[in-house]
Homo-oligomer: A and B are copies of this chain.
């Protein structure tokens, strides 16, 4: 069988429009763009290019498109690259043209989405590249910014990363506190099995190899190895012998992620790629018409 196709990431339309509409309202307030209203003739038009000042990965062009569409009638937005593409300084990622007031009113909202999501995709891609050739995948966490989770996880996919659960309601991650209250690893896994439907994936976090072996014995299918050093991770991989999916987590930084990946774990999760990704530097350069 040929290797399966990997599809480009997809972003549900309802997420895009709701997020952008709210962002425009936040920026425009009751009065709208006072500067444009006071200084630009209503009939003035503008043509502009969104240009990158940095090397990085594109993510979020549909949000930029929505900002220029939802601000009012008359703007044409033309993306020149697809999300997931690598860009270098000077590359034009999209062209925008239409009423000058509207173009300038939506500029900052479009860029705030774009620079943030491109920043996440770019940092994710750096982690992904750092472990290229190992069998491991980079995955995200729930350490995302309030209100932006669906978008940030989409950007992770644009950067080649994989998504961990989206929230508390779509999968189970049993942590130390759950284990302690339930009375142990075996007990907590039994409780999870007894109280959950068959479509809920269950992962358990372990701190030690003893806990890990107890989890495997209790039938754990996905195990998070928390804050283990490379030596411990290697031993866990050996003990596992392919039984459970293994995720390494805890203090994962770019400079040591390859060493972690080479231990043979399946996934490496890090909050760095969402919560700590700096924005990618993109700008809107305008040439005025009429």
Which positions in A face B, CB cutoff 8 Å?
Answer: 1, 3-15, 19-42, 44, 46, 70-73, 100-101, 104-105, 108-109, 111-113, 115-116, 139, 142-150, 153, 162-175, 177-178, 180-182, 186-188, 190-201, 203, 221-222, 245, 247, 266-267, 271, 275-276, 278-279, 286, 288
Q: How far is the CA of A173 from the CA of B199 in the complex (A)?
A: 9
Pairwise interchain contact A38-B195, C-beta atoms closer than 8 A: yes
Pairwise interchain contact A38-B191, C-beta atoms closer than 8 A: yes
Pairwise interchain contact B14-A191, C-beta atoms closer than 8 A: no
Distance from A11 Cβ to chain B, minimum over Cβ atoms (Å): 7
Tell me how many chains of this kind the complex includes. Answer: 6
Q: Knowing A15-B32, A145-B116 are in contact, say whether A7-B38 is a contact too (CB < 8 A).
A: yes
List chain B residues, Cβ under 8 A from A29. 29-30, 166-170
Measured CB to CB, the nearest residue on chain B to A190 is B4
Q: How far is the CA of A266 from the CA of B172 in the complex (A)?
A: 20
Distance from A136 Cβ to chain B, minimum over Cβ atoms (Å): 11
List chain B residues, Cβ under 8 A from A5. 41, 191, 194
**Cβ-neighbour of A163 out of B28, B186, B197 (below 8 A):** B197
Measured CB to CB, the nearest residue on chain B to A1 is B186
List chain B residues, Cβ under 8 A from A288. 177, 180-181
9 residue pairs, one from A and one from B, having the closest CB atoms: A29-B169, A170-B170, A31-B169, A12-B32, A23-B146, A4-B190, A38-B195, A33-B168, A171-B199
